[in-house]
A and B are shown apart, each in its own frame.
Chain A
């Protein structure tokens, strides 16, 4: 699929040039100190109010850079094998390509598909079951889960305190070199809150940017999408952030009750968080257990008799849509317009080698 607009990699690099800073008026107040690889959080025009209260955790370039270093550092796993990025890779909208469910330390397999990480400031409840209530505390889960990083917060903090480069980074980010759990989590959130996708061709068309347009089949796909999909995958986030049972037959091995595991309400059985569809072209496999490898399989689930009736099935799916082959193709073409290569290839969100990232001086 061809992109219209500037080459995203070049666009990213251009940030390093002073003139490019004019692109973001909000940055001008502190341009002198802004590293070219800092991505401040922005609220795109017309988007709803974020759930995350960034004022409780004001972003700084140093806090963002510390969060990014932590995100890509396997030091946070018990055996130094696994980082956040192991299961949340930038090129796939921060999910884990080709794995139904991800593997953590010692190759242990989890029971749910790693979700994408994008536009997290609008997520009121994290995980497929919505059990986590704030972006900052989400990271405690992968860090301590036996199938993921299998470590303890105290263990991670001890390692970071023993690393002069990290003590210096904490001092730059928070004013002194104390390495606390609160600071670790806030720094991670300062990075992850900036994993924002709002520059897909869909977004450019919606913003009436010059040269941005949908093809005829894409327009047809958009119409079908709005008619049949948007009640759950609501624009512009492409999710309501609610929970739904979309008719997947429960896996007898995983025995995952979904939302009901948190609420203990039978009415929530087999309901899972509605995922965003942004960058869906690259975020497979799909569904909470990663059972579908292709978008074709996903569409067939919804349109070709895949939906399994049950007491908690989403009402919208009780009479599933029946798309023709041409309609399915149009829908897919529309979904591909949600690909945001500027986000997927943003070097500022990617791993920065330690030599380039290390702060100039320690405390």
Chain B
């Protein structure tokens, strides 16, 4: 494998497939029916704020309860992607871990080269990193611990990070920091999300997943929850919030 390829942030999937045992591989493509020959599927995961694209730092977004919010960091893991087809079969992406970073549009595009070309009924994924990967030692690809999404002193991945400013936040800088993680019960913050795909969506047309940070923010009051940096009940409440921020957008043709 060429050296330069490994360094590109987009290649997490390729790295994942090339490396020795990864936790999610054990699950494989479990499905009731044979999934069929691969046709490949592209997904685009776009961080947005309501109906607008998410622009970090320079854009301010009015909110109902949290004042005018601007954002500096928005990163989250999507994992265990699964496609369920209208014929009842399903396809699970192996070694499925994707770090989406609003600051790096290259991370928005995901490719499932082995996905069969059948009509999709729903898309399912987890927000965050499963416990198997959390305890499996040093991981590669998007799970490299140097990506700013890993807690060293209390081993585990940060499932999602949202940082920004709002007059609603206490403190001299009016900043908030949400670092949501925790894989051990009772503090597990992994959340499963299912998005129904509208009937008539062309079988191999890309899926556009919108991650609406405005929706996530609307679930909490920044005046009370400006700083969450450890696993626990506050993080779990935030995890319940990020589970509600995803929706499918009408697909653009490939």
Taking Cβ atoms with an 8 Å cutoff, the residues of A that contact B are 53, 55-57, 127, 131-137, 140-141, 144-145, 152-154, 157, 176-178, 180-186, 189, 262, 264
Are A181 and B1 in contact, with the CB atoms below 8 A?
no
The answer to whether A177 and B152 touch (CB under 8 A), given A137-B137, A185-B137, A185-B145, is no
- Contact across chains for A131 and B138 when beta carbons are under 8 A apart: no
Inter-chain CA distance A97–B232, complex, in Å, is: 38
Given A180-B6, A186-B138, are A157 and B146 also a contact pair (CB < 8 Å)?
Answer: yes
Q: What is the CB-to-nearest-CB distance from A258 to chain B, in angstroms, rounded to a whole number?
A: 13
Contact partners of A132 in chain B: CB under 8 A? 152-155
CA distance A238 to B150 in the complex (A): 32
Contact partners of A134 in chain B: CB under 8 A: 135-138, 155
Do residues B6 and A133 form an inter-chain contact, with CB atoms below 8 A? no
> Do the beta carbons of B3 and A176 come within 8 Å of each other?
yes
Most buried by A among B6, B136, B140, B152: B152
* Cβ contacts A to B, 9 pairs, < 8 Å: A56-B21, A131-B154, A132-B152, A132-B154, A132-B155, A137-B152, A144-B152, A153-B145, A182-B19
**Is A182 in contact with B232, judged by CB distance below 8 angstroms?**
no
- From A178, A185, A262, B138 is in contact (CB under 8 Å) with A185
> A137-B137, A180-B140, A186-B138 provided; 8 other pairs, C-beta below 8 A?
A56-B21, A131-B153, A133-B155, A135-B137, A177-B3, A180-B144, A181-B138, A264-B230
Which residues from 108 to 155 on chain B have a C-beta closer than 8 Å to any C-beta of chain A? 134-140, 144-146, 150, 152-155
- Known contacts A131-B154, A137-B155; A153/B137 CB under 8 A: no
Tell me if A137 and B138 are in contact (CB < 8 A). yes
Q: Which residues of A contact B153 (CB under 8 A)?
A: 127, 131-132, 141
B7 proximal to A (CB < 8 A): yes
B183–chain A nearest beta-carbon distance, Å: 9
Q: Is the CB of B155 within 8 A of A181?
A: no
Interface on chain B toward A: helix, strand, loop, or mixed SS?
Answer: loop
Nearest-neighbour CB distance to chain B for A266, whole angstroms, equals 14
Best-buried of B21, B155, B230 by chain A (most CB within 10 Å): B155
Tell me which residues across on chain B come within 8 A of A144, comparing CB atoms.
Answer: 152
What residues of A have a CB within 8 angstroms of the CB of B20 in the complex? 56
With a CB–CB cut-off of 8 A, which chain B residues contact A177?
3
Task: Give A132 to B150 CA distance when docked, in angstroms.
Answer: 12
CB within 8 Å for A178 and B152 given contacts A133-B134, A134-B136, A186-B138: no
Complex alpha-carbon distance, A189 and B152, angstroms = 16
Chain B 138-180 near chain A by CB (<8 Å), digits 1 or 0: 1110001110001011111000000000000000000000000
CB contact under 8 A between A131 and B140, given known A140-B145, A181-B146: no
Chain A residues closer than 8 Å to B139, beta-carbon distance = 182
Decide if B145 touches A137 in the complex (CB within 8 Å): yes
Residue of B nearest to A154 (CB): B146
- Which residues does chain B contribute within 8 Å of A135, judged by CB atoms? 137
A153's closest neighbor in chain B, by CB? B146
In the bound assembly, the distance between CA atoms of A131 and B184 in angstroms comes to 12
**Residue numbers in A under 8 Å from B144 (CB-CB):** 153, 180-182
> Is B152's CB under 8 angstroms from A182's CB?
no
Is A262 a contact partner of B140 (Cβ separation < 8 A)? no
Nearest chain A CB to B18 CB, angstrom units = 10
Chain A proximity of B101: nearest CB distance (Å): 15
Contacts of B155 in A (CB 8 A): 131-134, 137
Q: Which residues of B contact A154 (CB under 8 A)?
A: 146
A162 to chain B, nearest CB (A): 13
Chain B residues contacting A178 (CB-CB under 8 Å) are 1, 3, 6-7
Of chain B, the residue at the smallest CB distance from A125 is B155
Q: Which residues of chain B from 82 to 127 have any CB-CB distance to chain A below 8 Å in the complex? A: none
A56 touches B137 (CB 8 A): yes
- State in angstroms the CA–CA spacing of A55 and B136 once bound together: 11
Q: Whole-angstrom distance between the alpha carbons of A281 and B20 in the complex? A: 41
Q: Which residues of A contact B136 (CB under 8 A)?
A: 56, 134
User: Are A189 and B232 closer than 8 Å at their CB atoms?
Assistant: no
Minimum CB–CB distance for A182 against chain B, Å = 4
CB <8 Å contact, A140 and B137: no
In Å, the complex CA distance between A55 and B21 comes to 9
Q: How far is the CA of A131 from the CA of B20 in the complex (A)?
A: 26
For residue A56, which residues in chain B have a CB less than 8 angstroms away from its CB? 20-21, 136-137
* Closest Cβ–Cβ distance, residue B29 to chain A (whole Å): 22
Measured CA separation A183–B232 after assembly (Å): 31
Complex formed: what's the CA distance from A264 to B229 in Å? 13
* A140 near B150: Cβ-Cβ < 8 Å: yes
A155 to B6, CA, bound (A): 17
Pick from B1, B21, B138, B230: contact of A136, CB below 8 A: B138
Closest chain-A Cβ to B75's Cβ sits at a distance in Å of: 15
Q: Which residues from B are CB-within-8-Å of A137?
A: 137-138, 145, 150, 152, 155
